[in-house]
A and B are shown apart, each in its own frame.
Chain A
Amino acid sequence: GQQVMQIPQYQHVQEGEDFTTYCNSSTTLSNIQWYKQRPGGHPVFLIQLVKSGEVKKQKRLTFQFGEAKKNSSLHITATQTTDVGTYFCAGRGTGGFKTIFGAGTRLFVKA
Chain B
Amino acid sequence: NAGVTQTPKFQVLKTGQSMTLQCAQDMNHNSMYWYRQDPGMGLRLIYYSASEGTTDKGEVPNGYNVSRLNKREFSLRLESAAPSQTSVYFCATITDRLNTEAFFGQGTRLTVV
**Residues of A near any B CB (own CB < 8 A):** 1, 6, 9, 31, 33, 35, 42-45, 48, 88, 90, 92, 97-104
Contacts and interface: CB of A to CB of B under 8 A. Distances in A.
B40 interface: yes
Closest 9 CB pairs of A and B: A103-B42, A101-B43, A42-B104, A97-B50, A104-B42, A45-B101, A101-B42, A43-B104, A92-B100
8 contacts: A1-B59, A6-B42, A43-B43, A45-B101, A92-B100, A97-B31, A98-B48, A99-B48
A98 B100 contact: no
A100 B100 contact: no
Nearest to A43: B104
Contacts of B104: 42-44
Interface residues of B, number: 26
B76 interface: no
A44 B43 CA distance: 13
Nearest to A47: B101
Nearest to B94: A99
B42 A102 contact: yes
Interface of B: 31, 33, 35, 40-45, 48, 50, 56, 58-59, 90, 94, 97, 99-107
A41 to B, nearest CB: 8
Nearest to B30: A97
A33 B48 contact: no
A1 B107 CA distance: 26
Contact of B102 (A9, A45, A104): A45
A33 B101 contact: yes
Contacts of A48: 99-101
Contacts of B106: 42
Nearest to B44: A101
A104 B41 CA distance: 8
A45 B45 contact: no
Which of A1, A6, A101 has the most CB atoms of chain B within a 10 A radius of its CB?
Answer: A101
B31 A101 contact: no
Contacts of B94: 97, 99
Given A33-B101, A42-B90, 18 more contacts: A31-B100, A33-B100, A35-B102, A42-B105, A42-B107, A43-B43, A43-B102, A88-B42, A97-B50, A97-B56, A98-B48, A98-B58, A99-B45, A101-B35, A101-B43, A101-B44, A103-B42, A104-B43
